[in-house]
Amino acid sequence: MRALNTAEGVIQATGVRDFPDYFDVIPYREGAGFTVKRYYLPNTKPTRVVTAGGQPAVCVLLHFSVEEARAAAGVRAVGVYVRLLCPYGQGRIEPFNFGDPGCPTPESFALLRGMQAPLQLEFNDEFVYDVGEERFYGQDGPVTPRQILDYAFEFHCRTLRWAFRIRWAVRSAVQRALRRTVWSLHGVFLGILEKGYGIKLRVPPHRWPTLFPKYTFADFERTGTSETSHFFGFQSSKGALLANLVVMAGGFFIAYWSLPRSGIIRVELNRWRGRYNHPSSI
């Protein structure tokens, strides 16, 4: 069982050194992860930024990391961070030396400064690593490390287009609002389950890549005392009385507002007519 607790362990598990399009793999000094580079796709603006020797002067830098282990088994989050990198200008304070063969040409430098730079992106909720199965998973099922890196790289390259940037900004805002709402309700329901019924998760909830995580009965445990009370024939803990009332009131409220009410009104009208038109009422 590989828990991937070291940078070298992550590198070996992903096999990134064998990927033909990726180069310069550097393990993290601290943490389980690495950085790797890849050149931009042909016929894109970044590929026109070259050195005096005609070599690409910029590339894509990807950070790949696995969440620190909380237990010997379980699911751990995978994070990928991607951005544009100009190796020559990284960490430089002095002006570029255009006489240096590794420096971008003056034309490339001007293009780089005026270019619509691709977005820096972080993918923290899309992928996980299952320690027990020793497999990576995405939103649609198992994925390979190569697919994870390609996904981040291609997504980063698509942000060079204005139309995509606008669509991505709108979609991201909607997804963040939806995710925040769903997880807030998720916390509310787990709180009701624990406070009202004395049932809680054995392990604190983890933010899975999907909006709706799946649980089994084995994931929950009972807390509190074993004292019980009877409510409409149902046996429950004494602390569940208020929770039962809230659930029943909510159920009736939803049913009243969502189901057709014409039948209820018709019944009440017939009762009213029958009361005042009956011979005994004259």
> Mean pLDDT highest for which of 56-65, 202-211, 240-249?
56-65
Whether the pLDDT of residue 221 is over 70: the answer is: yes
Q: What is the pLDDT of residue 116?
A: 81
Determine the structural domain holding residue 62 and report its residue range. Answer: 7-160
CB 28 within 8 A of CB 36: no
Structure confidence at residue 181 as a pLDDT band (50, 70, 90): confident
* CA-closest candidate to residue 58, choices 113, 11, 15: 113
Tokens of 118: 């691709």
Whether residue 145 is found in the same domain as residue 229: no
Whether the pLDDT of residue 127 is over 80: the answer is: yes
Q: How far apart are the first and last CA of the chain?
A: 87
Whether the pLDDT of residue 93 is over 60: the answer is: no
CA-CA distance, 225 to 117, in Å (whole number)?
60
Using the 3D structure, point to which of 160, 178, 198 is the last residue of a domain.
Answer: 160
Q: What is the pLDDT of residue 153?
A: 95
* Alpha carbon separation from 61 to 25, 80, 120, 141 (Å, rounded): 10, 10, 10, 26
Q: Total domain count for the chain?
A: 2
Q: What is the pLDDT of residue 91?
A: 47
CB 56 within 8 A of CB 40: yes
Using the 3D structure, point to which of 160, 177, 203 is the last residue of a domain.
Answer: 160
Specify the residue for token string 């497999």.
135
Is 216 within the bounds of a domain?
no
Is 56 within the bounds of a domain?
yes
Q: What is the pLDDT of residue 147?
A: 96
Taking only the tens place, the pLDDT of each residue in 1-13 is 466 888 999 999 9
Is 119 within the bounds of a domain?
yes
Question: Which whole number is the average pLDDT over 94-118?
Answer: 80
Question: Which whole number is the average pLDDT over 82-101?
Answer: 73
Query: Would you call 81 helix, strand, or coil by DSSP?
Result: strand
Whether residue 119 is found in the same domain as residue 234: no
What pTM does this model have? 0.60
Using the 3D structure, point to which of 113, 141, 160 is the last residue of a domain.
Answer: 160
Whether residue 149 is found in the same domain as residue 230: no
Q: What is the pLDDT of residue 45?
A: 87
CA dihedral (65, 67, 71, 72) in degrees, to 10, reads: -10
Strand partners, 61: 37, 83
Is 185 within the bounds of a domain?
no
Question: Which whole number is the average pLDDT over 63-91?
Answer: 81
Is 44 within the bounds of a domain?
yes
Q: What is the pLDDT of residue 123?
A: 92
Whether the pLDDT of residue 78 is over 90: the answer is: yes
Whether residue 125 is found in the same domain as residue 30: yes
Is 138 within the bounds of a domain?
yes
Whether residue 250 is found in the same domain as residue 122: no
CB 52 within 8 A of CB 103: yes
Better pLDDT: 209 or 244 = 244
Q: What is the pLDDT of residue 74?
A: 73
Taking only the tens place, the pLDDT of each residue in 130-158 is 888 889 999 888 999 999 999 999 999 98
CA-CA distance, 112 to 115, in Å (whole number)?
5
Is 113 within the bounds of a domain?
yes
> 203-238 as b/e, with b when 16 or more CB fall inside 10 Å?
eeeeeebeeeeeeeeeebeeeeeeeeeeeeeeebbe
Whether the pLDDT of residue 209 is over 50: the answer is: no
Query: Would you call 39 helix, strand, or coil by DSSP?
Result: coil
Q: What is the pLDDT of residue 159?
A: 87
Mean pLDDT of the chain: 79
Whether the pLDDT of residue 124 is over 70: the answer is: yes
CB 50 within 8 A of CB 106: no
CA-CA distance, 129 to 133, in Å (whole number)?
9
DSSP state, 68? Answer: P
SS (H, E, C) 101-136: CCCECHHHHHHHHHCCCCCCEEEEEEEEEECCCCEE
Whether residue 156 is found in the same domain as residue 233: no
Whether residue 25 is found in the same domain as residue 118: yes
Query: Would you call 58 helix, strand, or coil by DSSP?
Result: coil
Whether the pLDDT of residue 280 is over 70: the answer is: no
Whether residue 100 is found in the same domain as residue 230: no
Is 82 within the bounds of a domain?
yes
Tokens of 132: 């027990």
Better pLDDT: 170 or 187 = 170
Percent of the residues in the chain that have a pLDDT greater than 70, as a whole number: 74
Whether the pLDDT of residue 237 is over 70: the answer is: no
